[in-house]
Amino acid sequence: MTRRTRTSIAYILAISLALVTLVPFLPLAVLTARDGDGAARWLGEEDFDLVLSDVRMPGLDGMALQRRAMADRLPQPAILMRAFGSAETAVDALRNGVFSILTYPVTDGQLVNEITRACARKRHGEARLKATERRTS
């Protein structure tokens, strides 16, 4: 698994067009996948700060992609986006480790807020893990 060198830029795997319009305005490096199957391949090869995915998409859907990431113990948070859905679907997503589930239409502000929160949580978790490793070595 490779890791891109960066300072404060978030490295995001996107399987949603919603992020494309925001990329020029945010400190993000975004890799886009055409579908869930392509995203699953990238998850095995790169270390992302975040996965942004639609729930429904060609190939592997967003929930199946998240389940695969959880089974492989991949540490990045996921934000799923959907056009509609039940509360049961949202609860299932959160139980499967999804950081947040957003319903279209999503404003730029909502998306930026969720991306910022998810990346901050991942960095906080990484810092805690490093501190624990230092204490035990």
pLDDT tens-place string over residues 1-45: 444 444 346 677 777 666 666 666 677 788 888 888 999 988 888
Q: Give the domain ranges of the chain.
A: 10-136
Structure tokens that stand for 60 in this block:
């592997």
| Alpha-carbon gap, residue 98 to 7, rounded angstroms | 25
pLDDT in tens, 58-91: 889 989 998 888 888 877 889 999 888 788 888 8
Give the CA distances from residue 5 to residues 8, 11, 20, 39, in Å, rounded to whole numbers and listed in that order: 10, 10, 22, 21
pLDDT at res. 2:
45
The pLDDT of residue 25 is 66
The pTM of the full predicted model, rounded to 2 decimals, is 0.79
Q: How far apart are CA 80 and CA 19, in angstroms?
A: 12
Q: What is the pLDDT of residue 132?
A: 76
Length of the chain counted residue by residue: 137
Instruction: Assign 98 a pLDDT band (cuts: 50, 70, 90).
Output: very high
Q: How far apart are CA 101 and CA 88, in angstroms?
A: 12
Write down the architecture of domain 10-136 according to CATH.
3-Layer(aba) Sandwich (3.40)
